[in-house]
Amino acid sequence: MGDGVLLGELERRETAIRERVAELRVQVSELSDQLDTFEEMLSQVEIARKVVRTVEPERSGTTRPKSEAKSNLTRSQ
């Protein structure tokens, strides 16, 4: 294989690799955007779960409303 042929082959490979690198960078950027979106969604769901856990005991009656607690306090005195 002559030097010209070898250099031509190396240039062809380099071009192909550069194109693939560019494609992969685009994919990485797209995946990074998707990751950001899903991380934000996860954060919102975690916050919602915490709110529901805070509110749910009040709705299920496991904690007494303040008015009921006050009426029990005045009866015991």
Q: How many CB atoms lie within 10 A of CB 70?
A: 11
pLDDT digits (tens, 9 = 90+) for 28-73: 999 999 999 999 999 999 999 999 999 987 777 665 555 555 555 5
Residue 57 parent element (H or E): helix 3-60
What are the residue boundaries of the structural domains of the chain, listed by start?
3-76
pTM of the complete model beyond 0.85: no
Measured between alpha carbons, how far is 73 from 56 in angstroms, rounded to an integer? 25
